[in-house]
Structure formats: C-alpha cells, structure tokens
Structure 1
Amino acid sequence: MYLLYLVCGLLISSCAWAREEDVLEFGDSDFDAKIAEHETALVMFYAPWCGHCKRLKPEYAKAAEDLIRNDPPVALVKVDCTEAGKDTCSKNSVSGYPTLKIFRNGEYSQDYNGPREAAGIVKYMKAQVGPASRELKSIADFEKFLAQAKESVVVGFFEKESDLKAAFLQLANKLREKVQFAHSSFKDILNKQGLTDGVVLFRSAQLKNKFEPESVSYSGTAETADLNDFVTKNFHGLAGLRKSDNQRDFKNPLVVVYYDVDYVKNPKGTNYWRNRVLKVAKEFEGKITFAVAATSEFTHELNEFGIEFAHTDKPRVAARDADDKKYVLREEFSVDNLQNFASELLEGSLEPYIKSEPIPEAQEGSVIVAVAKNFEDVVINNDKDTLIEFYAPWCGHCKKLAPAYDELAEKLKDEEVAIVKIDATANDVSAPFDVRGFPTLYWAPKNAKNKPVKYDGGREVDDFIKYIAKEATNELKGWDRDGNPKTTKTEL
C-alpha cells in the first residue's frame, strides 16, 4: 500500500513538474538554434521583477501544457531580458515587458496580439497552425470535430469547387483566430447533412438548448461579407458565454447575467441558470443582446456597476443601453424580474447607475472638483471654456502636476475659463472623454463641449497659459493670444 501511495505521489509530482517544464527557456547562447527546432513558437520576453510578467506566468504555463500536445504542437518559450537573454531581447527590439512574439521555423513572424489568459492563448495559437479550415474525411472526423467544440463551429459542405466554397475558405482565413472552421467533400458526410454546396453553423454540445436550433444553415449569397454577417449574427446565439477574450463581440444594448459559470466542474448548474436567461432572451431576440458570464472573471466590471464580488446562489444582472449608460437589476434574480428589467431597458424607463463620489458641499481652492453626479453642471453646462484633468489619487505624475495645476487655476480665477479635476478611478467617465492613463487632460471649448480636444502640451504653468490664451473662445483679460501678459502686476 505504501508503494502504491509512493508511485501515485511521484506521478502527481511529475505531472505538476511537467506543467512548468512545458514552458521552454532559452538564452543568448542557444536561442537561435533552439527556436529553429520548432515549426511554430510563441516567445515571451520578460523581466523577473515585472508585475505583468508575474501575472502572465501561470496562464502561460497552463497554455503551454495544452499547446505542446496540440497537433501540430506549438512551443511556448520564455527569455529573461535581464540576464541570460539580454542580447536576444535587444536583437528582437524588445522595449517593454512582457513582449510576446510568434516565430515560425526560427524566424520572427509577427507580434502576438491575442489574449493574456490561458484559454485565450490556446485558442489564438491553435489558429496560427495548420489550415484555416480543417478538412473532414470521414463521418468519424465529422462527429469528433463537433463533439470537441467548446463553442460554435462553422462547417462547409462542398461536392465540388464553387463560389461559395471560395468565399467560405476566404472567411475561414480571415476569422481563423476567432472561429473554428471545417469543410468536407466526403460523400457520406454530404449525404448525412443533405447538402452539396452549403454552410452550417453548429452550436457546441454544452451550449445546446430548447430555445434555439442546434444548427443554423446559411442561405445567403456566395459573398464573403454576407457569410461573415451570418457567422457574426449567429455565433453566440441567444445568450452567449461572454469571456475576457470575446467581450467585444457582444454589442449594446446588452444584458449580462453573472454567476458561477463553469462548464468543466458544474455544467448542469451552469445551464440551469442559462436556460432561464434564454427564456427571456428569446422574447427580446433582435432587440437586446444577452450573455452569461463568470462572476470570478469579471469582478472589476461588477465593481464598475457597484456590485461587490460575493459568492452567491443567485445571479447578478447588469446592463448597458445603446448610449452605453449603465443599469443594475436591484431585485433578486428571477425570470419575471429579468423580463421586466429588459422591458424597462428598452423603454428607457430605468434609472442609470452612476459611479460617483458625493457632490462636494463646498469648493475649496481655485481648481473646481467635479464628480460624476455634477459633471454636467461643472463641465458641460458651465458656459465656460474648460480644462479638465482626469486623475488617479495614487498616480505619481498627477501628484507632480498638482502644484502647477493649482497655480494655473489661481491665475485664471477671474477669466471665463474653468480649471477642473475629477478622480477618474472613483467616478464614471462618459463619452466623448476617453481616459486610458493618468493624468489625462482635455480642453473643452464652451461652444463645443461635445468635441473636446486632448491636451498633450507641456505641464508647466506657462505652457498651460500659452495654450489656453491661444485656444480660448474669447481673448483672455490678462493675456494676449500669444500668452503674453497684457499688464504688469507688481507683487507686494
């Protein structure tokens, strides 16, 4: 019995060890020779101290375990740019960490622009090897292809060459990183499907349900664009599985139902809730996009809706309308409550959720503090040219800017110009303002608040004054258009 435990323990230990070892590590001494041994390889150029690299490492290792067993295999490689791989990183123009690049037969092919989580890496890299559409040569091939699908797949049935087949193969190449394609001219497969020149989208076994057909046949023209529209429209079905690597596929108005989605450990429980979502989604087909999503994968998004992450038996629901305004279902999840929520979303009778700090009771200093709830009054409807700083409290560059920004506001306090700041981490930022880093500054002329201009000038007081003097709707009282003082002020 002890020997059995020992053998099992060694096997488990070996499996865990092999998972890490599936990621190959090359350096300057062997990179060129080793990378040439692999038909397709994904290389991560990293620095050990890099936080993003540390977060990617376990996902990368998990993906490597799958991809090394792919047919054909894909090698996942890492190169330490701070030690053994300095020259290799320099030669490959690595300027930030992590940088991921795809190599084919030892030669650089392209930058990797795919997801940074294991499932997404696997899907993206599998699409990089082999033909864009897999040829099915037997009934067994066909059935295995459908059985292994984790999401919708598209299959072409072609007795001979045709315009539809040409369009199909062209689309397969275009969408190879997003969708799995297969085709066949095998007689038994064509007879089984009853097609000689057609295309069918098949839903994966785990997503089949009674509210929509298991497959959808294409009936459009032999044009790639029309075929693409067909795949896009039907790929996710009535309530698709929304993940971090496909979330952009789901267009507004959008209702997302968050819960413990897990088709590996709990497919029955996952479909229990999804079927209830599907029942409602069927009633709003073509009017609202519905999706289900794993709570654990979208905790940040839930926080943006004011929904705190918590393990619960009942799903949570959030939505965005056509104007990207946010809404939250406050009642407990049920089919009736979801149905009413969707109806009111379409009617426009729901009250939007706005993430906002409280409106300041009083404004202290010359810089006006805005929050989401008073942004319209403070910025949009203030009848003044406005400079807005979107900042983060923890941002070092924002802290460095603060004294100059305060001084600027004090100098311009008697002008028809508002100097405003808003904490973009604690307040919603709506279009047309696009904030992707801190600080971000926008100039919003009083007669064109819907077309603000991103400020990319200097960060000293004189830089700001010259810019504002030039761009102000009405000439400033204290400065000419070139930013020169109109009068000399003597300080006592």
Structure 2
Amino acid sequence: LFQSLNEMKKLLKLQLKTVIIGFFNDYDIIDEDSEAYSITAWGQFHSTADSLRGHAVFYAATSDDVIDSFKLSRSELPLVYMIAEDGDGLIQYTGEILEYNLSEWILRHTSPAMGELTVASATGELFTTQFFSSKKIKFILILPKNYNKIDETTSYIQNLLVVSETFHNNAIFSYMYSNEVPDVLDFFSIDNVNDLPVIVCHNPTNDYKYKSKKLVSISIDVIQDFVIGVLEGYISKIIKSQPIPKSNNGFVKQLVGYTVIDVVNQVDKDVLVEVYAPWCAHCKKIRSTYDMLGRAASAESRIIISKIDGVNNDIPASWNVKGYPTLLWFAAKDKPYRNNVSIPRSYWDAGFSLYEMASFIQRESSFDIQTLRIATQEQLGQ
C-alpha cells in the first residue's frame, strides 16, 4: 500500500517495469483469512498480482492524498490504472475487477517480462499466448518436471528474473516445466529425457533458434553468459537438418535445413522450392511431373528448381507453409532481401501439371521471357 503521496512518488521513480495501481476505499480491504476475500475486488487484485509477479509491479492506494493526486472520487472506487514502462500516461481499466479479466487486460497492454509458460491455468495460458505472440527475442528456461520445485521465488527462477531485468530492453524471458506447452520441445529439437534442464532462444525477426548444452547449474552467470552469447553472436544458431547430399546433380536440387536459405537467397537466381512431406500422397503423385519441370529448366542457369522435406528440415515460419505440397517462388528481382530474411512469393492461380508449372516460372520470372531457355513438352517428348 502507498501510505502517502511522497512515498508513491519515490517508489515510482525507481520502477523500470509496468506499474499497476489499485485504488481502494478502506472498507474494500478484506483480511486474507476472510471467507469473502477471494470474491472481493481486493482479493482478485491480489490474485492477479501473484499470478503476474515478475511481469508488472503492483501497488495499492487508499490514502486521500494519493487518490486526490489522480483526481479520483472515492465513490468511483475501486479502480485500477496502469503506468506503462515507457511512462506514456495512464491507462484506466474499465472492466470488473476479476483475476482473469484484469490479467488479460494487463497482458494485452504490455509486453511480457517474465513468467511461467503453462496452459494449466487461465492466467498462464494468457501469458503463454502473449509471450509467443511478441516480436521480441525470446529466452526460455526449460526444466524437468518437478525439478526442485520447492520455492519458485528463489534459486533458478529468481536467477532468471535477475537476468530478465538486466536485458529487459533486448528480450523477453520465461520458464516452463518439461512438455507443459505442446510443441515447444519439438520446435527446439529437445529430448525430454536427456537434454533438460536447458535454455533456448528464438529470434522471430530471422526465425533463428538457439539452444544451450544441458545445464549443470542454473546460476545467474550461466544464464547471462548464454543470453550475451546469443545477443552478441558468439553462440551458433541451431538448425534441424538432414545431411547435405554428397551428390546433388539431378534436375531438381535437393535442399536441406543447412542449405535452403543460402540457395533461395542467391541474388542472381529465380528459385522455385517444393516443400513436401515424406508421407504426403499428393507430393508423391506430382513427383514425376516436378522432376520433368526440373529437366525442362535444366538449360536455364538463372532458374533453380528445388525441393525440401519440410518435416525433417527447418524452414522459416515466415514462409507460412501450412500443408504439403507447397510451392514457393523466390524471385531474383526481390533480392537481396532486407536483413537477409527471405520472403517468398506464393505459387498462385496455377495447378501442378507440367504446362501450368512451366508457364508460372516463365510468367513470374525476373528475366526477359524471350531469353529464357525452358523446354516445351514437345521438346521433352511428352
């Protein structure tokens, strides 16, 4: 509780995080042991503060001078306001003071600082959604299930919080237990039995992923060293990739996770990529036709016809591959890409016959169609 206006001013000057202030009348303050505590606005405000600790700083005020300084009337209370970390004015919460509603409002108006990734609670699910929706660099400490889970306010969680505060302007931080959130372990190629505990990172700007070795200790120094290593480029990104083919002289070039970005980013090439899955029946159905397309374009050095297994190799999420097969077109006229982030054109308004695919690459090519050396079906003997 703020006891006075001077106390409030002193405390707010020290805050670097988002600040949430609840304004209450004295009679709103209910003892925690009271049966009515959990259903009151005061109890719900406290529950929200507990759920989002590390994400925002919560204060409450009942004194006249503090309430008067915000030009509030006691008849309006209880009220909740937010002071964003950028200090850009006050934001008033206008809904009913319930933990779920208030948490959703706070998360919607702020970028997450640090918290637990979980879908076991409504607040946790909100934080998790907000965390993964953020465009900031993300660091996640992943722990084995029930790993020393005695006091989360100390030891490793506290160490992560300290680091998160140091690098708050550069990234956001979270922690999770085992496979609490589906797909996270698969995304970072983590073995649930042998790799934990571990720290991982994802940079959504370029879709780069990073993973530490299995942690022997989870000290501030260990966490900080990994964060600095990622931010300053000392730690290499991880890529899920099949081995690079020893021979790749076919008409259709086989790409893998290690090579796909270098190929599609070639500034003097138009590149067509088929993203397929080994089990995809439609992919198998068009395989011979796609191989024929590669043969048709084999005399044109400025066009590369290629394919990649989208299940066993990493491809950027920004390519928005939702199903198989997906054809993506990387036109030379769009390169070089800004920040080396490849942006494909979609294979639009075209089917999967040889004529349709060949017509597409000629129509969409970066080069004069009169100079392209693309064989016709008749020339291929089809």
TM-score by length of 2: 0.66
- Structure 2 portions without partners, runs of 5+: 1-21, 31-39, 94-101, 120-124, 338-342
Is the CA contact (8 Å cut-off) linking 1:256 and 1:290 kept in structure 2?
yes
**AA aligned opposite 1:366:** F
Which residue in 1 is equivalent to 2:238? Answer: 353
Is the CA contact (8 Å cut-off) linking 1:401 and 1:459 kept in structure 2?
yes
Task: Please state if 1:306 is matched with 2:189.
Answer: yes
Cα 1:431/1:258, change in 2 over 3 Å: closer
SS of equivalent residue, structure 1 residue 339: helix
Match of residue 323, structure 2, among 437, 440, 444 = 437
Q: How does 1:358-377 map onto structure 2 within 5 Å?
A: 358-363=243-248, 365-377=250-262
Distance in 1 separating the partners of 2:237 and 2:309: 20
For residues 50-108 of structure 1, give each alpha carbon's deviation from its aligned partner in whole angstroms, at most 9, with x where no partner exists.
xxxxxxxxxxxxxxxxxxxxxxxxxxxxxxxxxxxxxxxxxxxxxxxxxxxxxxxxxxx
Is the CA contact (8 Å cut-off) linking 2:112 and 2:130 kept in structure 1?
no
Q: Post-superposition shift, 1:256?
A: 0.5
Which residue in 2 is equivalent to 1:279? Answer: 162
Is the CA contact (8 Å cut-off) linking 2:256 and 2:309 kept in structure 1?
yes
**Aligned-residue RMSD, C-alpha:** 4.3
Task: Please state if 1:139 is matched with 2:29.
Answer: yes
Task: Please state if 1:253 is matched with 2:137.
Answer: yes
Cα 1:488/1:275, change in 2 over 3 Å: closer
Task: Please state if 1:291 is matched with 2:178.
Answer: no
Task: Please state if 1:316 is matched with 2:198.
Answer: yes
Is the CA contact (8 Å cut-off) linking 1:392 and 1:423 kept in structure 2?
yes
Q: How does 1:14-413 map onto structure 2 within 5 Å?
A: 138-140=28-30, 141-146=40-45, 148-149=47-48, 151-152=51-52, 185=74, 199=81, 220-221=89-90, 231-232=106-107, 238-243=113-118, 245-246=125-126, 247-250=128-131, 251=134, 252-260=136-144, 266=149, 268=151, 272-298=155-181, 300-310=183-193, 315-321=197-203, 322-330=205-213, 332=215, 333-363=218-248, 365-381=250-266, 383-413=268-298
Q: Post-superposition shift, 1:278?
A: 1.3
Which residue in 1 is equivalent to 2:4? Answer: none
Distance in 1 separating the partners of 2:233 and 2:194: 31
Task: Please state if 1:475 is matched with 2:359.
Answer: no
Q: Post-superposition shift, 1:447?
A: 2.7
Q: Post-superposition shift, 1:219?
A: 8.1
* Equivalences, count: 309
Distance in 2 separating the partners of 1:331 and 1:310: 11
Q: Post-superposition shift, 1:186?
A: 6.6
Distance in 2 separating the partners of 1:397 and 1:488: 25
Cα 1:267/1:490, change in 2 over 3 Å: closer
**AA aligned opposite 1:429:** I
Is the CA contact (8 Å cut-off) linking 2:299 and 2:373 kept in structure 1?
no
Bigger RCO (CA 8 Å, 6+ sep):
2
Q: Percent identity?
A: 25
Q: Post-superposition shift, 1:371?
A: 0.8
TM-score by length of 1: 0.53
Q: Post-superposition shift, 1:185?
A: 4.8
Distance in 2 separating the partners of 1:465 and 1:282: 54
Cα 1:490/1:464, change in 2 over 3 Å: closer
Q: Post-superposition shift, 1:220?
A: 2.1
For residues 193-227 of structure 1, give each alpha carbon's deviation from its aligned partner in whole angstroms, at most 9, with x where no partner exists.
xxxx76269xxxxxxxxxxxxxx9x8824678xx9
Is the CA contact (8 Å cut-off) linking 2:293 and 2:354 kept in structure 1?
yes
- Structure 1 portions without partners, runs of 5+: 1-132, 167-183, 191-196, 202-215
Cα 1:185/1:394, change in 2 over 3 Å: farther
Which residue in 2 is equivalent to 1:58? Answer: none
Distance in 2 separating the partners of 1:490 and 1:219: 66
Cα 1:381/1:243, change in 2 over 3 Å: same
Which residue in 1 is equivalent to 2:37? Answer: none
SS of equivalent residue, structure 1 residue 463: helix
Q: Post-superposition shift, 1:376?
A: 3.4
Q: Post-superposition shift, 1:295?
A: 1.8
